[in-house]
Structure 1
Amino acid sequence: MSTESEPEETRPPRKAAFLLGTAVVFFALDLVTKVVALARLEGKEPVRALGGLVYLQIVRNPGAAFSIATGMTWVLALVAIGVVVAIIWILPKLRSGGWAIGLGLVLAGALGNLVDRFFRAPGPLRGHVVDFLSLFAPNGEAWPVFNVADSSIVVGGILIVVLSLLGHEYDGRRSKDKAQDTKEAASNE
């Protein structure tokens, strides 16, 4: 248990639980929506929803968005593993609520698609990701077919970029604070 007098560096990560909670919620949402989509949409014509804004259909994607890297599923799986490891590495230093949400969303998305790549046909590290949401037109004619994991990665990534552009660091400091610390360290040498 931390006390007020305990130095910041020795306190347990404040935002780790927030990151992990976000990741668990969105990972579960991805898994549940894929199971429901497969049960209700497999082998059927696209279903028009929200006045044609969204179409629901099953697409098994061996690549990434926009059919990039089709046939390189194992590489995409390794990239996802790298993302998961990088987020775990950052976890002890995480002090920003915004970064916790962003990284939690990216973690959920990476794990959601990684589960597909490991456990879906045609086999481990070659599995096809289940996508089921298409915007504006069926069959990815206007926008690639995607899933909750893809959305989590995009929203989390945008949040992280915005926070970075605004000078918010994952460790809770502002970019100008880091620059000042660097300047002071250099002048002390």
Structure 2
Amino acid sequence: MKKKYLYLSVITGLLVAADQLVKMYIHTQFHLGESVVVIPNFFNLTYVRNFGAAFGFLAESHPSFREIFFLAMPPIALIIILTIMRGVKDDDTKQIIALSSIFGGAIGNYIDRLRFRYVIDFLDFHVNNKYSWPAFNIADSAIVGGVTLLLLMMVMEARQKKAEEAPKAP
């Protein structure tokens, strides 16, 4: 097995296991909307059901559209990631980790969609219960982390290319 697919398997497995274990704990031990303070005035564990995408995007759309969309998109995204992964060099560890994180996160949230028709969110950051970030989960964190790493790599590559193309002073 190629190194990149080993990384993909291990990272995906760890992310999905951690994501699903914590979600099941929240789902079985918390009541919907229940919140436990972890860091006062900053971080709670709060049981939220997200019927939309990130930050509730499309949560208010027609249920039939929403269900078809959210059940169809993850497999398409997974196929795209696997297709991209085929072209990634075996020694491009950063890109492999980034794509694997997105892949694992997508599977973690897709499992929720298949089981419940919503995603379980629970990480609740806020400032003095006044300014609040929408609740999210481990899978969301993996997706955002993977996308952020890919974007940083693209920016760094563009800067390096620009520096290499710049005229040299005599």
TM-score (norm 1): 0.73
Aligned pair 1:68/2:63, yes or no? Answer: no
1:155 aligns with 2:149: no
Does the Cα contact within 8 Å between 2:33 and 2:48 map onto a contact in 1? Answer: no
2:10 alignment partner in structure 1:
21
Q: Which has the larger radius of gyration?
A: 1
8 Å contact kept, 2:41–2:129: no
* Further displaced range: 80-89 or 104-113: 80-89
Structure-2 residue corresponding to 1:136: 126
Please tell me whether the aligned partners of residues 42 and 128 of structure 2 are also in contact (alpha carbons under 8 angstroms). no
Identify the residue that residue 87 of structure 2 maps to in structure 1.
93
Give structure 1 regions of 4+ aligned residues with deviation exceeding 6 angstroms: none
SS at match of 1:15: helix
* Structural RMSD (CA): 2.7
Report the counterpart of residue 4 of structure 1 in structure 2. Answer: none
Specify the code of the residue in structure 1 equivalent to 2:85. Answer: L
Does the 8 Å contact 2:122/2:137 carry over to 1? yes
Cα distance between partner residues in 1 of 2:122 and 2:110: 16
CA spacing shift, 1:18–1:101, aligned 2, 3 Å: same
Report the TM-score, using the length of structure 2 for normalisation: 0.80
Instruction: Tell me the equivalent position of 1:54.
Output: 43
| CA positional deviation for 1:73 | 3.7
Unmatched 5+ stretches in structure 2? 162-170
Once residues 35 and 138 of structure 1 are traced to their aligned partners in structure 2, the CA distance between those partners, rounded to angstroms, is 28
Partner SS state of residue 122, structure 2: strand
CA contact (8 A) 2:74 2:106 kept: yes
CA distance in 2: counterparts of 1:64 and 1:101, whole angstroms: 23
1:92 and 1:157, CA in 2 relative to 1: closer, same or farther beyond 3 A?
Answer: same
> Deviation of residue 43 (structure 1)?
4.1
Distance 1:105 1:47, change over 3 A: same
Deviation at 1:33, TM superposition (A): 0.7
**Gaps spanning 5+ residues in structure 1: where?**
1-11, 121-126, 169-174, 177-189
Higher RCO, 1 vs 2 (CA within 8 Å, ≥6 residues apart)? 2
For 1:114 and 1:138, the matched residues in 2 are separated by 32
Secondary structure, in 3 states, of the residue corresponding to 1:52?
Answer: coil
Q: Percent identity?
A: 27
What is the alpha-carbon distance in structure 1 between the residues aligned to residue 124 and residue 31 of structure 2? 15
